[in-house]
Amino acid sequence: MVTNNLVEHILETTYEDIPDRVIEHGKKSLLNWLGVTIGAAQHKSIDILLEVSNSLGTSQQVSIFGRSIKTDLLTAVLVNGTASHVFDFDDTHLETIHHPSGPVAPVALALGEKFDLSTKEILRAFVLGCEAELRIANSVYPSHYRNGFHITSSTGVFGAAIAAGILLKLSKEKMAMALGLAGTQSFGLREMFGTMTKPFHAGKAAQNGLYAAMLVEKGFTSSSQVLEAKRGFANVYSTSHNLGRINERWGKVWEFENNTFKPFACGIVLHPSIDACIQFSEYASPDEVEEIRLRVHPYVHELTSKENPKTGLEGKFSIYHTGAIAFLEKGASENQFQDERVNAGEVVQFRKKIKPMADEQIDKDKVVATLVLKDGTTKKLVIDHAIGSLQNPLTTEMLASKFMNLSSPIIGEESSKQVIEKIMKLEKLDYIHPVIEAID
């Protein structure tokens, strides 16, 4: 009954049932998602996806953000979803290391654009899709993640199917089957981290979830108990799980509120170390540094242990690179993850001074950092909650600045300001088209 109970909760939750603070968080999430999507629109991986799509033929239905072109629905959600994760700068749910907007936002916005849907329905679909996928992620984490699944993709497909099902007005029976069809398309391997395939996971989850809902709408059948069945998602994809977390306190507790926004363009588990290294740069010059010791959670060491990255994408999974560029350049934006910066001589040399150590007593969002100078002087920093965390979140102004920095080079400063204004009052607009027109 887990799947059917979830479907009932979703279909019974109206826009008015969603607290204002959650709607506000939803708008911030959409703004953040649009920024990272537009910012990465010119990436080579997006060129390749569009080149293949064009070779197959496509109709002009909905927008590719940051490209001023239109493609069919399924291609658009694939491309936009992939772009949103290219920079690894998207929103993050720290408990499960999940990026909820990536698979859901492209579906909600594409269907809203194609069918002239109300912005309140788009917001409802987006928020409920994210809420459901995060609850499903909670139910199978951490064993599912330890097994090697990229949880953004493997559970994000459910959020995408839910958002699509809401906007396509699927019945209870069809929504349950849409989740079944989405679940059988659940995939994403952590082996792919550091390559173009990692962001592809988010786009493919969006596409698969939308495709599932569209097929079911036309009469395609599937299991209606995908989450709890003996050979269903939880039992096959995780060695231990707690399915009670999916439906518990629905409407009273909003897991989506635990979604955070990154100030740095790499995995969130690296942010405390980056924060510490930026602060250390105020105390010494690079030549004075003997080493920087970073005591971190074992997950940080497991996920980001690439000592000698060769590409920008690999650099995003290297605590050595992020520590070096944070100290040397006092930042970790997308500029610090270009291939040339990863291979720059001074960066490569300084990486050797970064000394991470795994410590099970350290939380995932914490670092105990020690700066050791060549003269023997030491300085210790403890970052309990890095900037961008739930306890130290980005302000609305900081989020807007992040959006401007990402989107202005692509769509211009004035258009970027218009998008911010329209997204932050999205529920007051009748339709999504003013936002789309501002981007195009």
Q: How confident is the model at residue 268, as a pLDDT?
A: 85
Q: Which tokens sit at 118?
A: 């109300």
Residue that finishes a domain, picked among 383, 403, 421: 383
Same-domain check for residues 28 and 145: yes
Same-domain check for residues 325 and 422: no
Residue that finishes a domain, picked among 362, 383, 404: 383
Q: How confident is the model at residue 49, as a pLDDT?
A: 98
- On whether residue 144 sits in a domain, the answer given is yes
Q: What is the CATH number of the domain that holds 37?
A: 1.10.4100.10
Same-domain check for residues 217 and 293: no
Size of the chain in residues:
440
Same-domain check for residues 150 and 99: yes
Residue that finishes a domain, picked among 383, 405, 423: 383
Same-domain check for residues 343 and 233: no
* Domain boundaries, position 192: 2-261+394-439
Same-domain check for residues 206 and 103: yes
Mean pLDDT by 10 residues, the chain (440 residues): 97 98 98 98 97 93 96 98 96 94 98 97 98 98 95 98 98 98 97 95 98 98 98 96 98 97 92 96 96 94 90 93 96 92 96 96 91 97 92 94 96 98 97 95
For the stretch 105-145, pLDDT in tens is 999 999 999 999 999 999 999 999 999 999 999 999 999 99
Q: What is the pTM of this model?
A: 0.93
Q: How confident is the model at residue 363, as a pLDDT?
A: 87
Q: Are 350 and 292 in contact (CB under 8 A)?
A: no
Q: How confident is the model at residue 158, as a pLDDT?
A: 98
Q: How confident is the model at residue 365, as a pLDDT?
A: 82
Q: Given the DSSP bridges, would you call strands 259-260 and 69-71 parallel, antiparallel or unpaired?
A: unpaired
CA torsion sign for 138, 195, 107, 220 is negative
- On whether residue 45 sits in a domain, the answer given is yes
Same-domain check for residues 303 and 199: no
Same-domain check for residues 356 and 423: no
Considering its fold, how many domains does the chain have in total? 2
Same-domain check for residues 322 and 173: no
- On whether residue 234 sits in a domain, the answer given is yes
- On whether residue 388 sits in a domain, the answer given is no
Same-domain check for residues 110 and 200: yes
Q: What is the CATH number of the domain that holds 377?
A: 3.30.1330.120
- On whether residue 389 sits in a domain, the answer given is no
Q: How confident is the model at residue 140, as a pLDDT?
A: 98
Cα–Cα distance for residue pair 413/206, rounded to 1 Å: 29
Q: Which tokens sit at 160?
A: 């995408």
For the stretch 368-410, pLDDT in tens is 999 999 999 999 999 999 889 999 999 999 999 999 999 999 9
Same-domain check for residues 230 and 332: no
Same-domain check for residues 247 and 274: no
Cα–Cα distance for residue pair 408/221, rounded to 1 Å: 45
